[in-house]
């Protein structure tokens, strides 16, 4: 009997329903719009693994200058245990090495941490996903809607905090969720911003990038705007103020992630990261 054949090929539009099915199998939160955004932005970095000619798994690499992000390493539950996830991760890393990307990062689930450690990734810091239905609130905090003419300012602020230029990603997130993009001013200066988007299981709050002075009002503003709805918020454990706010609003830890990196170390201002963009965006 011939051994099964593994083939890794570029992802196409026709594969989007397969990717969404894998997200549902894994109980992840991505929507069709999330998959579409990833493929539109990173078509040369999205792959499908085929096992004996049948689609079996996916992965996507996102490039932000000298830093790349690996996400959406998903394997069909009927084909797990065959080393397909490892093969996809190695394929993605080989492509990034050929492009001479000095730093590769990802948010690993508990199950994935051992695999990525074997591939040379080291932990930078842990995050916790807070989950729950937000309580009703009588009034909103004093943040303001960020109009499109302010989005460039928000993106520049984001780059100062995260150390990477995420404009292509942020502009798409802002444009798709215009009413959710909030900003907070500290006098004449920008204190930070926060946005959110719909997910398959819950509203994903984030990214929320702000100074220690502006972060609480932005996060509470987001909580009050989504009162009565189920939300996910991915918060670095080191941002104690953010975790306390989540807990004070009745949210509890659903799962943990480990932000990991391979190659040159990358540092961001964790105390200014109040909610990440989610594991597929960093």
How much of the chain exceeds pLDDT 70, in percent?
97
Q: How confident is the model at residue 188 (pLDDT cuts 50, 70, 90)?
A: confident
Q: How confident is the model at residue 141 (pLDDT cuts 50, 70, 90)?
A: low
Domains along the chain with CATH numbers = 6-101 (3.40.630.30), 129-275 (3.40.630.90)
Q: At what angle do helices 240-248 and 215-225 cross, to 10 degrees?
A: 30
DSSP secondary structure string, 3-47?
Answer: PPPEEEEE--GGGHHHHHHHHHHTT----HHHHHHHHHH-GGGEE
More confident residue, 187 or 279: 279
Q: What is the pLDDT of residues 199-239, one digit of tens each?
A: 999 999 999 999 999 999 999 999 999 999 999 999 999 99
User: What is the pTM (predicted TM-score) of this model?
Assistant: 0.93
Rg of the chain over Cα atoms, rounded to whole angstroms, equals 19
Handedness of CA 211, 213, 214, 216 (dihedral sign): positive
Q: What is the pLDDT of residues 80-124, one digit of tens each?
A: 888 999 999 999 999 999 999 999 999 999 888 999 999 999 999
Residue 1 in this model has a pLDDT that exceeds 50: no
Quick one: pLDDT at residue 140? Answer: 57
Number of Cβ within a 10 Å radius of residue 204: 27
The token pair at 232 is 């996910």
Gap between the Cα atoms of 119 and 142, Å rounded? 46
Q: What is the pLDDT of residues 229-247, one digit of tens each?
A: 999 999 999 999 999 999 9
3-state DSSP helix/strand/coil % of the chain, to nearest 5: 35, 35, 30
Round the average pLDDT of the chain to a whole number and report it.
94
Quick one: pLDDT at residue 138? Answer: 57
Gap between the Cα atoms of 138 and 148, Å rounded? 28
Asked if residue 275 lies in contact with residue 205, where contact means CB atoms within 8 angstroms, the answer is yes
Q: What is the pLDDT of residues 147-179, one digit of tens each?
A: 999 999 999 999 999 999 999 999 999 999 999
Q: What angle do CA 248, 173, 131 make, to 5 degrees?
A: 25
Q: What is the pLDDT of residues 251-278, one digit of tens each?
A: 999 999 999 999 999 888 999 999 999 9
């Amino acid at each position: 009997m011939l051994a099964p054949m593994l083939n890794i090929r570029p992802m196409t539009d026709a594969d989007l329903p397969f990717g969404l099915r894998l997200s549902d199998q894994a109980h992840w939160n991505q929507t069709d719009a999330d998959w579409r955004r990833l493929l539109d932005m990173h078509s040369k970095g999205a792959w499908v693994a085929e096992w004996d000619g049948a689609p079996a798994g996916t992965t996507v690499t996102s490039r932000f200058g000298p830093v790349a992000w690996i996400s959406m390493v998903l394997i069909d539950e009927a084909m797990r245990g065959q080393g397909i996830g490892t093969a996809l991760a190695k394929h993605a890393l080989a492509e990034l090495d050929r492009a001479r990307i000095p730093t590769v990062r990802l948010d690993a689930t508990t199950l994935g941490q051992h695999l990525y450690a074997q591939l040379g990734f080291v932990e930078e810091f842990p995050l916790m996903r807070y989950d729950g239905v937000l309580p009703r609130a009588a009034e909103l905090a004093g943040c303001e809607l960020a109009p499109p003419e302010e989005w460039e300012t928000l993106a520049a602020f984001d780059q100062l905090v995260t150390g990477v230029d995420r404009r292509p990603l942020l502009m798409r997130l802002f444009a798709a969720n215009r009413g959710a993009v909030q900003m907070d001013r500290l006098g004449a200066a920008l204190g930070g911003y926060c946005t959110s988007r719909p997910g398959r299981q819950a509203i994903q709050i984030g990214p929320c990038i702000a100074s220690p002075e502006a972060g609480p009002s932005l996060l509470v503003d987001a909580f009050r705007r989504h009162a009565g709805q189920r939300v996910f918020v991915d918060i670095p454990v080191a941002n104690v103020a953010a975790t306390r706010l989540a807990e004070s609003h009745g949210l509890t830890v659903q799962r943990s992630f480990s932000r990991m990196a391979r190659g040159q170390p990358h540092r961001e201002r964790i105390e200014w990261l109040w909610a990440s963009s989610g594991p597929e965006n960093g």
